Amino acid sequence: MNARLPETSTIPERIAALRAAMSREGLAAYLVPSADPHLSEYLPGRWQSREWLSGFTGSAGTLVVTGSFAGLWTDSRYWSQAEAQLAGTGVQLMKMLGGQQSAPHFEWLAQNVASGSAVGVDGAVLGIAPARALTDALTARGVQLRTDVDLLDTIWPQRPALPVDAVYEHIAPHASVTRTDKLDQVRRAMQEKGAQWHFISTLDDLAWLFNLRGADVSYNPVFVAHALIGLDSATLFVSNGKVPEALAASLARDGVRVEPYAHAVPALVALPAGTTLLIDPRRVTLGVMKSLPSTVKVIEAVNPSIFFKSRKTEAEAEHIRATMEQDGAALAEFFAWFEGALGHQTITELTIDERLTAARARRPGFTSLSFATIAGFNGNGAMPHYRATEASHATIEGNGLLLIDSGGQYLSGTTDITRVVPIGTISDAHRHDFTTVLKGTMALSRARFPRGIRSPMLDAIARAPIWEAGADYGHGTGHGVGYFLNVHEGPQVIAHYAAAESWTAMEEGMITSIEPGLYRPGKWGVRIENLVLNRAAEQTEFGDFLRFETLTLCPIDTRCLALPLLRDDERAWLNSYHETVRARVSPHVSGDAKAWLEARTQPV
């Protein structure tokens, strides 16, 4: 008989309950990834199993539990956070080193689980690619992998149900391409690959394809669903009651049928023998794959919608430019208040989040933040994914550097920006690090490159000035950004440890962050981030070249500069950028915000 824990249980009690459930199932180990059936980065409450079991709240990490060991694997972005949150839980931090291509927890399991025993994981939340890698690692050591067990259901009291918020339509003028046109794009891609059907689980792909949005995942305007696309039909599988009748009728007019969420797998099971089905093994779970009849021919390829979604139309680019002006105005209002209040009011890292969110909320089209605001003063800024809490936060006083990484979701675009400002008196070392990072941001922002170059290959351009200073940083330099969608979007990623696969190619219309950093643990951190748009640059006998248009409109604080480190061309770029910021944001602000903008965009 399964005994559920009280909701107020401790982490050690939860681990003990998991071990008891493992024993009942004959499992030597259980693996809990940070994933849901849609392989989302940010998870609805129902699938925050790893957080519930370990207490670690970071967005990336994997928990492994055996009869005598519990370990949480995560990368350097989260080490400080994980050390604090795991203290006293009995869960050990297992540090993943930057650039590791393999999954070290797979290797650990293969080496530490006895031959002839079994490891369990919920196949419904395990991606196909990691499932294959895990199977290979365990099989080589004579260990069985069981993927038919969701032990959390047996021990988690009041486990959250599926989200119930209504789905809504993203309409013109902000949605500039109709869903029928988008479906036609996807169907043409299916035909090119010889597929009659295409199954999609990734939530941002679904939101883009159907011009729908939701509120099922914090910070991302998406909804929990699957879709099965045929050459002349489309079915959206979503929980009952989430699609209003009028919207369902609109979808039906466009040839889209709405069915209950639970019907997705049965629909796959019912596919006719000989059918060809396109799936993306990086974006579909093992549970989906195992449900397919053996008579269905599977074509594995990247979801076509990922490419289409990443290449913003010119109409979308215009909306994003307007969004950046409004976001820049919100930032100007915030910083004007901040500088005026500093030293006269008590300001904490939490206050910064509150005031900055309020400034954005006053702007037209704002719907939510695009991620949890990171406001880190001095040593807290050295943790790239730091999050202030009521229990642990800093007051902004004394001397040092304040790092603020924030963003907003607007009907007309998604923003993500990091700025660093001086507090009190800063040192030459502060200025050196700040200027070194800025040189990295500028170097990549000014680059020209061949169309189709693999995005990971651009990483070294931003790192070169930082490497020259004998420093480095443990995170990627850039990620794709959605259009009123996920703040982290593929297929492009600027990170030297990412595989330079063909599908990571840079194409016109993509929006990407540029965000090099430099962190001194316990002291301070610097990161300077702008969003950029891939634009056509020129055609030569060597091919088509692209350049970046900087979209973000907010001053870079020149009070932190070590001017002698900047070349004349770098000063010219910075002055030109500030002239653009001043010209485009000024019409949207007045009073103190306008005065602040004028002061912070003066040439150097």
For residue 340, being part of any structural domain is answered with: yes
297-325 tens-digit pLDDT: 999 999 999 999 999 999 999 999 999 99
How far apart, in whole angstroms, are the C-alpha atoms of residue 584 and residue 326? 9
| pLDDT (0 to 100) of residue 58 | 85
Same structural domain for residues 372 and 511?
yes
Please tell me whether residues 120 and 179 are part of one structural domain.
no
Q: What is the pLDDT of residue 98?
A: 58
Per-residue model confidence as pLDDT tens digits over 202-225 = 999 999 999 999 999 989 999 999
pLDDT 10s digits, 134-157? 999 999 999 999 999 899 998 998
Alpha-carbon gap, residue 268 to 264, rounded angstroms = 7
**Mean pLDDT across the chain:** 94
Looking at the structure, do residues 461 and 475 belong to the same domain, yes or no? yes
Can you say whether residue 467 is alpha, beta or left, with left for phi > 0 and alpha for psi between -120 and 50 degrees? alpha
Q: In this predicted structure, what is the pLDDT of residue 179? A: 97
- What's the token pair of residue 138? 């365990």
Q: What is the pLDDT of residue 81?
A: 83
Q: Please indicate, yes or no, if residue 2 is contained in any of the structural domains.
A: no
Residues 368 and 510 in one domain: yes
pLDDT per residue as tens digits for the range 452-510: 999 999 999 999 999 999 999 989 999 999 999 999 999 999 999 899 999 999 999 99
- Give me the torsion for CA of 57, 61, 63, 69, rounded to 10°: -100
Would you state the structure tokens that stand for residue 566, as one six-digit string? Answer: 């900047």
Give the SS3 label for residue 41: coil
In a domain, 160, yes or no: no
Q: Rounded to an integer, what distance in angstroms lies between the CA atom of residue 540 and that of residue 543? A: 5
165 phi and psi angles, rounded to 5 deg = -60, 145
Contact 300, 281 (CB under 8 A): yes
Share of the chain above pLDDT 70, in %: 98
What is the C-alpha separation between 417 and 421, in angstroms, rounded? Answer: 13
**CA dist list (Å): 360 to 120, 214, 217, 267, 490:** 45, 20, 20, 43, 26
246: tokens are 């009028």
- Domain assignment present for 521: yes
Q: Is the pLDDT of residue 85 over 50?
A: yes
The whole-number pLDDT of residue 102 equals 52
Among 224, 225, 208, 231, which Cα is nearest to 277's?
231
> Domain check: are 286 and 321 in the same one?
no
Q: What is the mean pLDDT of residues 512-526?
A: 97
Report how far residue 404's alpha carbon sits from residue 496's, in angstroms, rounded to the nearest whole number.
25
Residue 246 lies in domain: 168-309
Question: Domain for residue 3, yes or no?
Answer: no
Do 302 and 324 lie in one domain? The reply is: no
- In a domain, residue 85? The reply is yes
Tell whether 374 and 443 lie within a shared domain.
Answer: yes
CA distance 348 to 362: 22
Q: Is the pLDDT of residue 100 over 50?
A: no
Task: Supply the CATH number for residue 348's domain.
Answer: 3.90.230.10
pLDDT at residue 1, as a whole number: 36
290, 309, 328 — which closes off a domain? 309
User: How far is CA 214 from each of CA 188, 204, 247, 292, 319, rounded to the nearest angstrom?
Assistant: 27, 10, 13, 29, 20
How buried is residue 368: exposed, middle or buried, by Cβ count under 10 Å (0-12/13-18/19+)?
A: middle
Of residues 260 and 385, more confidently modeled: 260
Identify the residue whose tokens are 């993306």.
280
Q: What is the pLDDT of residue 3?
A: 54
How many separate domains does the chain show? 3
Indicate if 79 and 199 belong to the same structural domain: no
- Residues with Cβ within 8 Å of 441's Cβ and at least 6 positions away in sequence, in order, are 462, 514, 515, 516, 528, 529, 530
Residue 158's pLDDT is 86
Residue 1 included in any domain: no
- Angle subtended at Cα 74 by Cα 70 and Cα 75, rounded to the nearest 5 degrees: 155
Closest CA to 236 of 269, 209, 275: 209
**Are the CB atoms for 532 and 416 separated by under 8 Å?**
no
- pLDDT of 99 strictly over 70: no
Does residue 331 sit in the same domain as residue 292? Answer: no
Give the pLDDT confidence of 274-294 residue by residue, as tens digits: 999 999 999 999 999 989 999
Contact by Cβ (8 Å): 251, 210: yes
Q: Provide the 3-class DSSP secondary structure of residue 252.
A: helix
Task: Answer whether residue 162 is part of any domain.
Answer: no
Domain boundary among 309, 327, 361: 309
Q: Is the pLDDT confidence value at 4 over 80?
A: no
Q: Which residue has the tokens 């007051």?
A: 395
pLDDT at 431: 98
pLDDT in tens, 560-602: 999 999 999 999 999 999 999 999 999 999 999 999 999 999 9
- Say which CATH number the domain at 191 has: 3.40.350.10
Residues in CB range of 357: below 8 A, 6 or more apart: 369, 373
Residues 108 and 186 in one domain: no
Q: Is the dihedral of CA 391, 396, 397, 402 positive or negative?
A: positive
End-to-end CA distance of the chain, in Å?
72
Are 86 and 183 within one domain? Answer: no
Give CA–CA dist 420/376, Å, rounded. Answer: 10
Residue that is last in its domain, among 278, 309, 340: 309
Are 484 and 528 in a shared domain?
yes
The backbone torsions φ and ψ at residue 316, rounded to the nearest 5 degrees and listed phi first, read: -65, -40
